[in-house]
Amino acid sequence: MLTKRIIPCLDIKDGRTVKGINFIGLRDAGDPVELAAKYAMEEADELVFLDISATEQKRKTLADLVLRVAAAIDIPFTVGGGISSIADVEILLKNGADKVSINSAAVKNPDLINKLSDKFGSQCIVVAIDAKQKEGRWKVHLVGGKVPTELDLFDWAKEAQLRGAGEILFTSMDHDGTKEGYANEALARLSENINLPIIASGGAGKITHFINTFIEGKADAALAASVFHFGEISIPELKNKLKEERVIVRIDK
């Protein structure tokens, strides 16, 4: 079994870290640079930074804030929000990002995945997919979950892989912020359908939820926000519990 990764997520709006439930009802969660430094010290495996209003507001990700976060950490760093071109990615990588996450722009222009993968390598390209269940099917949503489509989660993940994505970040909108566990059934099905690392997102509330998503959901990484931001779960405690359950994680200290 490969080493499983724990990934805190900084959802950024107006330069602050925020968190909501089911993509709405956002509340302030702190300064992103301070949180990033804290998570790096606590041995998070990676960090994800999502400028959640960039696409809706039709502006680019906050490149200067990316630069400040990158200077505060020494772990891999993925940035998303408003990315729609090679030039956008070049700026973010120059400012310290290791990977970029594309979502709405990839659905609207699937060739973007090919172009970015060809230019920067597939290991640099994360395709984020926000989806919710409708009449028993997982439907992809765009613009921070505000715009529903008829695109099927599993079909889109397969296409993203074929076009050169290096990783899939799947967020269940139904589970987001509920703290009732990840969408493990959908995650397991994703892992059977594609041959890419899958990051589980949406629903973490207890340590058992992380254990279950690695074992039942077959996720390669688990992303969470509020449980880390508000001190409900510490990363060292989480990793020790995972190790006790024979889930392989990186523990340096």
Q: Give me the residues paired with residue 127 across strands.
A: 102, 168
The answer to whether the CB of 153 falls within 8 A of the CB of 186 is yes
Q: Give me the residues paired with residue 50 across strands.
A: 11, 80
CA distances for 207 relative to 54, 203, 224, 241, 244, angstroms: 31, 11, 11, 8, 12
| Euclidean distance between CA atoms 27 and 7, whole angstroms | 20
11 a catalytic residue: yes
Residue whose C-alpha is closest to residue 160's, from 128, 199, 206, 119: 128
CATH superfamily of the domain spanning 5-244: Aldolase class I (3.20.20.70)
Check residue 247 and give its pLDDT.
96
Catalytic residue among 51, 130, 176, 220: 130
118 a catalytic residue: no
Catalytic residue among 11, 45, 51, 220: 11
pLDDT in tens, the chain (253 residues): 689 999 998 887 765 666 544 444 444 556 888 889 999 999 999 999 888 664 444 445 578 888 999 999 999 999 998 899 999 999 999 999 999 999 999 999 999 999 999 999 999 999 999 999 988 899 999 977 788 999 999 999 999 999 999 999 999 999 987 899 999 999 999 999 999 999 999 999 999 999 999 999 999 999 998 899 888 999 999 999 999 999 999 987 5
